[in-house]
Amino acid sequence: METRAGDPGAFAHFDLHRVPSPSFVVDEVAVRRNLAILKDVRDRAGIKVLGALKAFSMWSLGGVIGEYLDGVCTSGLYEARLGSEEYKGEIATYCAGYKAEDLPEILRISDHVIFNSPYQIARFMPQIEAARHAGQVFDIGLRINPLHAEGEVAKYDPCQPHSRLGFPIDQLKPEHLNGVSGLHFHTLCEQDFVPLERTWRAVEPYISPYFGQLTWLNFGGGHHITRADYQRDSLVEFLQQIKLETGLTLYLEPGEAMALDAGILVGEVLDVVDNGMAVAITDISATCHMPDVIEAPYRPAMLHERANGPQVRLGGPSCLAGDIIGDYRLPCTAEPGARIAFLDQAHYSMVKTNMFNGVPLPSIYLWNSDSDELKEIRSFGYADFKSRLS
């Protein structure tokens, strides 16, 4: 999977020895720059923008996000709780499958509760009605599957054949929208405006008969709005036109766009061997710290990687044979103690970390590239590993 992000920004001048290894370092200035772009799109288009916690849930910046966006979108009970405790504005919760015991709290703290199928809505209607009878205010949404694939990699495409995400749009009937205030679809992954426009052309004929009974439409996430080459003016014009034609409130749910090119993962070389090429073991693990490297797969950009010279294969310290980050031309000599950093690691990498093999989690630092203030947000130790087990 190709990623078009990887601009070092102010990290081009960051001293990698200022933080322990491994560490995530997030630049607040870069996050604010991204948020300002999202706010500008929101204001010009007259829509609402919710930040997706599934991609970037560094809640120490919850107040900052609240300065720019209308709220957050969450993927279940725990993220909804986090949204209610640490963020401002609306909370839209979507989960492919809700558990009955979780739903009362989700209904209580969410403004929009989006279901994956009309069958779930019907099954949980007694709980929905009980919550409303108790004075709770929320509306119900339905996620639809446009059956229009735009993804580069099928397993990352919500419209892949036999997808579990969203109700197939060609099965939608009027009775499925009883009690439903809005429709949600999310089909993109790190994409620009044109795939969204094509998706809308596929969706609109199916849902236009229901515009009069709906109050909102949610276009989901996957929009790379803050990337330098994104067609933001076209997006604004598109949203303005849809808002005019439908009379509905429109939502976008960018996640990665909030933290695009706003963070690095700093690591250190632990050992180097020769096995047909130089192979370096680092304290950064693909499987533990950057699992999308294996799952997507993709090759993360390296800070100051050389254009020429011998390549070094980098891998993590775990026992997994596939714990390989990739082959790189290091900006320094491949030897124990050498520091390296991977770009664009603030989103998804941070939320997907795990402690397989007891590999320590990276510390988290917040940096302000304007003031040069550097602050430790969180470090992790053995207690974090042990507390996950029994």
CATH number of the structural domain spanning residue 319 = 2.40.37.10
Query: Are 140 and 191 in a shared domain?
Result: yes
Please tell me the total count of domains within the chain.
2
For residues 132, 107, 67 and 25, what is the CA-based torsion angle, rounded to 10 degrees? 180
Residue 4 lies in a domain: no
Task: Give 4's pLDDT tier (boundaries 50, 70, 90).
Answer: low
Query: Are 55 and 141 in a shared domain?
Result: yes
Query: Are 170 and 315 in a shared domain?
Result: no
Residue 269 lies in a domain: yes
- Contact (Cβ atoms closer than 8 angstroms) between residue 266 and residue 233: no
Pairing of strands 339-343, 263-274: antiparallel
Residue 6 has pLDDT above 80, yes or no: no
Task: Could you list the beta-strand ranges (E) of the chain.
Answer: 23-27, 48-52, 71-74, 90-94, 112-115, 139-145, 167-168, 182-184, 216-218, 249-252, 263-274, 278-282, 312-315, 324-328, 339-343, 363-367, 374-378
Q: Of the candidates 66, 76, 54, which has an alpha carbon nearest to the alpha carbon of residue 347?
A: 54
Query: Are 239 and 380 in a shared domain?
Result: no
Query: Are 350 and 278 in a shared domain?
Result: yes
- Rounded to the nearest integer, the mean pLDDT of the chain is 96
Task: Give 251's pLDDT tier (boundaries 50, 70, 90).
Answer: very high
- pLDDT digits 0-9 by tens, 19-46: 999 999 999 999 999 999 999 999 999 9
Ramachandran sector of residue 278 (left: φ over 0; alpha: ψ -120 to 50; beta: rest): beta
Query: Are 123 and 251 in a shared domain?
Result: yes
Work out the average pLDDT over 166-173: 97
Query: Are 255 and 110 in a shared domain?
Result: yes
Residue 188 sits in a domain whose CATH number is 3.20.20.10
CA-CA distance, 265 to 344, in Å (whole number)?
Answer: 8
Residue 34 lies in a domain: no
Q: At what angle do helices 28-45 and 232-246 cross, to 10 degrees?
A: 40
In DSSP notation, 246-313 reads H--EEEE--SHHHHTT-EEEEEEEEEEEESSSEEEEES--HHHH-THHHHTT--PPBTT--SSS--EE
- pLDDT digits 0-9 by tens, 305-342: 999 999 999 999 999 999 999 999 999 999 999 999 99
- Contact (Cβ atoms closer than 8 angstroms) between residue 144 and residue 203: yes
- Residue finishing a domain among 228, 259, 290: 259
Pairing of strands 263-274, 216-218: unpaired
- Name, in order, each residue with C-beta under 8 angstroms of 133's C-beta and a sequence gap of 6 or more: none
Task: Give 244's pLDDT tier (boundaries 50, 70, 90).
Answer: very high
What pLDDT, on the 0 to 100 scale, is given for residue 155? 81
Residue 36 lies in a domain: no
Work out the average pLDDT over 266-294: 97
Query: Are 255 and 272 in a shared domain?
Result: no
What pLDDT, on the 0 to 100 scale, is given for residue 5? 66
Task: Name residue 128's amino acid.
Answer: I
- Residue finishing a domain among 229, 244, 259: 259
Range of the domain at 311: 9-25+262-387
- Name, in order, each residue with C-beta under 8 angstroms of 103's C-beta and a sequence gap of 6 or more: 124, 127
Residue 242 lies in a domain: yes
What is the percent of the chain where pLDDT is above 90? 95
Residue 342 lies in a domain: yes
Query: Are 191 and 327 in a shared domain?
Result: no
Token reading at 99: 């558990």
Residue 33 lies in a domain: no
Query: Are 111 and 224 in a shared domain?
Result: yes
- Contact (Cβ atoms closer than 8 angstroms) between residue 50 and residue 75: no
Residue 2 has pLDDT above 90, yes or no: no
What pLDDT, on the 0 to 100 scale, is given for residue 375? 98
Residue with tokens 């910046």: 61
- Residue finishing a domain among 194, 229, 259: 259
What pLDDT, on the 0 to 100 scale, is given for residue 203? 97
Query: Are 328 and 209 in a shared domain?
Result: no
Work out the average pLDDT over 374-387: 97
Query: Are 172 and 218 in a shared domain?
Result: yes
Residue 40 lies in a domain: no
